[in-house]
Structure 1
Amino acid sequence: MLQTVVEWLWWDRLWLPGNLSWSDLEDKEDCVYAKASQLYGVLPCALCLLLVRYLFERCLATPLANAWGIEDSVHLTAEQNPVLEKYFCSQTRNPSQADLRSLCKKTGWPERKVDVWFRRRRNQERPGLRKRFCEASWRSVFYLFAFFGGILALYDKPWLYNLKEVWAKYPKQSLLASQYWYYILEMGFYFSLLLSLTFDVKRKDFKEQVIHHIATLTLLSFSWISNYIRVGTLVMAVHDSSDSLLEGAKVFNYAKWHRTANVMFVVFVVLFMVTRLVIFPFWLIHCTWVYPVEFYPPFFGYYFFNIMLLVLQILHVYWAILISRMLFKLIFSKLEGDDRSDEEEDDTDTTQEKSHKMDHRNGSGPRGRANGH
């Protein structure tokens, strides 16, 4: 049964146009083709990138954060309470109003105090500013190098300037060394992001990020096996072109270089809208949807590849909405941090705030304690 499944999975008609088989893509003296077995290199590449990221954040990003005076916010520690701690760890971090009233009865605390406890406890779980700075720094540097690497791999290729060249002599298109390394590094990076999701900063679009990484890896894997490599490199270059600016804007925003961050963010918005909402759907998807049928009849891989591109385009529209909200905040209010991040909550008790304000008015109260609040 396993052999039958493998044979069906590698059935020629799933991956290649009609009248072609895997035997037609065997290496020759003047032509070397991509092979599925080469994708095993993605895992060690992802592990190496995780190690490089660790060294980068420890040896470069952290000293830079120290030089720029980036410090984590001082959180008020939640008071020890076994009942609330058990509920927080085993039930939910955001209890409903009815749950708050039930917990008040169990603890003997007023509802306001229980609510403040949960806010303080949630703040203790949130990543600090330095962690977000290091993460954004790593992504910004990688996307920057990936984009320029893509330009070096594509600038002298005819299919960059004439999209119909993407399908010339398809699928008998020889694999280039630059394409191999571009693919392996990009797939290794996205795989490393999947591996690090559990300890990275969790954002509001966490589920969309998971879908994006899986869709990207699936798309790149399929394009590699089906020899859709030319269009695959174009898709990667389009995505890398704007991502570095967004992460760079976050880096400068965390460092309180707000003017620089705002300029970078505006440039990012323009580039994102042009590449993801214009070039990607109207040039690249058009290239994969319209041009191939001029060379061969549609097959399963043709439909599968285009459906995956449409999934990415739906995510682009979703992120364009989030980015538009951020731009609105930038224009009409003050933009602080990443709109997708799980923001810190006010964890001060109203009664405590009033007492501290009275202390300041009366000239009492230690300065350090006031700053802590």
Structure 2
Amino acid sequence: MEKQQHVQWLYDWLWWERFWLPMGVSWADLEDSEGRVYAKASQLWDMVPFALGLLLLRVLFVRYVAKPLADVCGVQDKVRTPAEPEPLLEDFFCHKTRQPSQAELVSLCKKLSWSQRKVLQWFRRRRNQNRPGLRKRFCEASWRGVFYFCSFFGGVVALYDKPWVSDLRQVWAGFPKQSLLPSQYWYYFCEMGFYLSLLLSLTFDVKRKDFKEQVIHHMATLTLLSFSWISNYIRVGTLVMAVHDSADILLEGAKVVNYARYNKAANMIFVVFTALFMLTRLVIFPFWLIHCTWVYPLELYPAFMGYYFFNVMLVVLQALHVYWAVLITRMLYKSLFGSLEGDDRSDEEEEDDSDTSTEMKQKPRHINGSGPRGRATGH
């Protein structure tokens, strides 16, 4: 009996109306009636089959579309020389560090009677064995680009005739008693399924230096979309998704073209992407959409906890936009006015077997097929 009371208390606390809904609105007001259909929290489980379906579709896309396309474009992995079998170094590599210090290097040389150059070369070759090749990068970018293309234009079809696209005050007309449209359901769960699939595949995808930022972004996006679904912030949610997807198409397209060695075309696409990213993420998103969610609701009802939560999550996304905008600006400057071959975001640089330790410090490290386009995130 006491356990049931605790469960009931937890349930009541989790679904406390004053957190999720404005004053004067209850969950009973959002029950389907009079031809109106409302979003339901239980539907969030639908993102799981969507995510699994997208993962399966991704496997099929890579096998039957991306890889044949890579062959047509001449995208090939660099032939790597494997590290020779050496149990002592392998144990050190797997259980201590992949980048030995000078003291550790001297110790290993004494134990093996090898020169420092040979030990360094072994570690470089061993690190390269685990690094994804150019074809994997090409396939990943192709998949994301195709999804963003389909998602964005699907969003355009779902939104083009809606009055709240041109008049943002209409986002809140009748809120929260706004009936759910079938197009909104499919748009939402394709997006949520995609970001969940990205979280599930992060450990298998090419790892970047902004790995933590990607996790934060995907989690914030899923949290934001889930909250907006439950609280019926669906109209503004679809606008946020469309704004984000628009620039992502160009980013992934630039990567694909760059991996195929069409450098001039990739640079042109990247310049257009940069302009669109700055417009959508640093202008439209903060000054139109966040303004829409921060100011207009207060004209209809007093602020409540969910209002603050939703806006804080939007601000978290905006902070990530600023972080990535700095990286993008730096890349664009280098691509236009200097030499740019590395990838500030990648942890998977291809290393040259012939470099000595001194040369490694002086020579910039390169990444297979990377360039300015490989450095930015489109999310």
Q: When the two structures are superposed, what TM-score results if normalisation uses the length of structure 1?
A: 0.91
Match of 1:317 in 2: 322
Match of 1:361 in 2: none
Q: Which residue, 117, 129, 133 being the options, matches 1:124?
A: 129
Using the TM superposition, give the Cα deviation of residue 92 of structure 1 relative to its aligned residue in structure 2, in angstroms. Answer: 2.0
Using the TM superposition, give the Cα deviation of residue 74 of structure 1 relative to its aligned residue in structure 2, in angstroms. Answer: 1.4
Letter of the 2:255 counterpart = K
2: CA distance, partners of 1:98 / 1:35: 60
Asked if the contact 2:39–2:232 (Cα under 8 Å) also holds between the matched residues in 1, the reply is yes
Letter of the 1:200 counterpart = D
Match of 2:226 in 1: 221
Asked if the contact 2:155–2:242 (Cα under 8 Å) also holds between the matched residues in 1, the reply is yes
2: CA distance, partners of 1:29 / 1:107: 81
**Is 1:307 equivalent to 2:312 in the alignment?**
yes
Q: CA RMSD in A?
A: 1.6
Match of 1:104 in 2: 109
3-state SS, counterpart of residue 173 of structure 1: coil
More moved, 321-330 vs 58-67: 321-330
**Is 1:204 equivalent to 2:209 in the alignment?**
yes
Q: 1:185 to 1:337 in 2, by over 3 A?
A: farther
2: CA distance, partners of 1:145 / 1:74: 35
Letter of the 2:85 counterpart = Q
Asked if the contact 2:120–2:356 (Cα under 8 Å) also holds between the matched residues in 1, the reply is no
Asked if the contact 1:254–1:337 (Cα under 8 Å) also holds between the matched residues in 2, the reply is no
3-state SS, counterpart of residue 349 of structure 2: coil
Q: Which residue, 226, 230, 235 being the options, matches 1:230?
A: 235
2: CA distance, partners of 1:83 / 1:283: 59
Match of 1:195 in 2: 200
Q: Which residue, 66, 74, 78 being the options, matches 1:69?
A: 74
Q: Which residue, 345, 354, 358 being the options, matches 2:351?
A: 345
Q: 1:250 to 1:339 in 2, by over 3 A?
A: farther
Match of 2:244 in 1: 239
**Is 1:27 equivalent to 2:28 in the alignment?**
no
Match of 2:366 in 1: none
Q: Which residue, 284, 290, 311 being the options, matches 2:289?
A: 284
Q: When the two structures are superposed, what TM-score results if normalisation uses the length of structure 2?
A: 0.90
Letter of the 1:78 counterpart = A
2: CA distance, partners of 1:73 / 1:89: 24
Using the TM superposition, give the Cα deviation of residue 134 of structure 1 relative to its aligned residue in structure 2, in angstroms. Answer: 0.5
Letter of the 1:72 counterpart = D
2: CA distance, partners of 1:337 / 1:32: 51
Letter of the 1:178 counterpart = S
Letter of the 1:74 counterpart = V
**Is 1:47 equivalent to 2:45 in the alignment?**
no
2: CA distance, partners of 1:103 / 1:122: 17
Using the TM superposition, give the Cα deviation of residue 348 of structure 1 relative to its aligned residue in structure 2, in angstroms. Answer: 1.8
Task: Note the 1:152-171 alignment, pairs <5 A.
Answer: 152-171=157-176
Using the TM superposition, give the Cα deviation of residue 90 of structure 1 relative to its aligned residue in structure 2, in angstroms. Answer: 1.6
Match of 2:23 in 1: 18
Runs of 5+ consecutive residues of structure 1 not aligned to the other structure: 354-373
Match of 2:9 in 1: 4
3-state SS, counterpart of residue 23 of structure 1: helix
More moved, 324-333 vs 294-303: 324-333
More moved, 170-179 vs 339-348: 339-348
2: CA distance, partners of 1:324 / 1:4: 50
- Determine what percentage of the aligned residue pairs are the same residue: 71
Asked if the contact 1:146–1:186 (Cα under 8 Å) also holds between the matched residues in 2, the reply is yes
Task: Note the 1:254-273 alignment, pairs <5 A.
Answer: 254-273=259-278
Q: 1:60 to 1:337 in 2, by over 3 A?
A: farther
**TM-superposition CA deviations, 1:263-303 (whole Å, max 9, x none):** 11110000000000111111111111111111111111001
Asked if the contact 1:253–1:336 (Cα under 8 Å) also holds between the matched residues in 2, the reply is no
Match of 1:56 in 2: 61
Runs of 5+ consecutive residues of structure 2 not aligned to the other structure: 1-5, 360-379
Letter of the 1:185 counterpart = C
1: CA distance, partners of 2:276 / 2:78: 33
Q: How many residues were matched structurally? A: 352
3-state SS, counterpart of residue 278 of structure 2: helix
**TM-superposition CA deviations, 1:55-90 (whole Å, max 9, x none):** 111001101111111110111211211111111112
Q: 1:103 to 1:337 in 2, by over 3 A?
A: closer
1: CA distance, partners of 2:208 / 2:353: 20
Q: 1:71 to 1:7 in 2, by over 3 A?
A: same
Q: Which residue, 146, 149, 163 being the options, matches 2:151?
A: 146
Using the TM superposition, give the Cα deviation of residue 20 of structure 1 relative to its aligned residue in structure 2, in angstroms. Answer: 1.1
2: CA distance, partners of 1:268 / 1:349: 35
Asked if the contact 1:137–1:248 (Cα under 8 Å) also holds between the matched residues in 2, the reply is yes
More moved, 59-68 vs 104-113: 104-113
Letter of the 1:49 counterpart = L
2: CA distance, partners of 1:335 / 1:247: 18
2: CA distance, partners of 1:158 / 1:228: 16
**TM-superposition CA deviations, 1:122-154 (whole Å, max 9, x none):** 111110000000000000110011110111111
Letter of the 1:344 counterpart = E
